[in-house]
Amino acid sequence: MVAVRSAEERIWHFGDFIVDADRRLLLRNEHPLAAGPKAFDLLAILLENRGRILSKQFLLDAVWPDAIVDVNNLNQQVAALRRLLDDSSDGWIETIPRVGFRFRAELAEKPNRARRWIAAFTVLMIALVLAAFVPKRDSKGRNNSRSDLFRRSPATSIRKPNRVRQGRSSRSMRSSPERSRGVTTP
């Protein structure tokens, strides 16, 4: 059992799992797992204090700082973490009877693979979000939205309206007798 922690960020790697506390990511074999917010907080505290026995009261105060909760809530979150981590085979979380819990993992030195994967995942997510909001442009720099494509398609022809000549209108084009009499129309 090996846990890897990055010096710059709070990233741990143990077994098939990667935990990034700053981004609140829990990955197994590079696939995200859904952990509840309190279960994730509990896991981060256990990882920060791996190898140390943490009392139940310490964990209650750390995970629920502004609330008074029963020890059963803590036990439920530990059970949820054990299910999520498939703890039956590895025994990551050790129960110390009548005292508390301990996360059993040894420290390793190189978190490079975990850090690279998380960085690549973050860049990919940012690129996808940006791609959704940036308008598409064609080779001439015009917006390439669906309405523009519909307007330019050969199946539809939209003609510009005819321009009216300046200075002459249909009303001023009267017969010559009206013009000769000096009759003007409003």
- pLDDT, tens digit, for every residue of 5-49? 545 568 888 888 899 988 999 999 889 999 999 999 999 999 999
Asked whether residue 146 is assigned to any structural domain, the reply reads: no
Whether 81 is covered by a domain: the verdict is yes
**Where is 87: in which H helix or E strand?**
helix 87-90
Q: Which long-range CB contacts under 8 A does 72-81 form with residues at least 24 apart?
A: 73/38, 74/42, 77/36, 77/38, 77/39, 77/42, 78/42, 80/35, 80/36, 80/39, 81/35, 81/39, 81/42, 81/43
Stretches where the chain sits below pLDDT 70 are: 1-9, 106-116, 134-139, 141-186
pLDDT value of residue 30: 87
- The tokens for 97 are 């009877």
Q: At 102, which CATH number?
A: 1.10.10.10
Alpha-carbon distance of 139 to 126, in angstroms, equals 25
Note whether residue 40 is domain-resident: yes
Q: What is the pTM of this model?
A: 0.55
Judge whether 185 lies within some domain.
no
Partnered with residue 3 across adjacent β-strands are: 14, 107
Is 160 part of a structural domain of the chain?
A: no
Inside any domain, residue 125? yes
The answer to whether position 150 is within a domain reads no
The torsion defined by the Cα of 99, 103, 105 and 110, in degrees rounded to 10, comes to -140
Domain count, the chain: 1
Element (DSSP H or E) covering residue 103: strand 100-103
Please give the span between the terminal C-alpha atoms of the chain, in angstroms, as a whole number: 96
Asked, for residue 151, whether it belongs to a domain, the answer is: no
In terms of residue numbers, what domain contains 81? 2-130
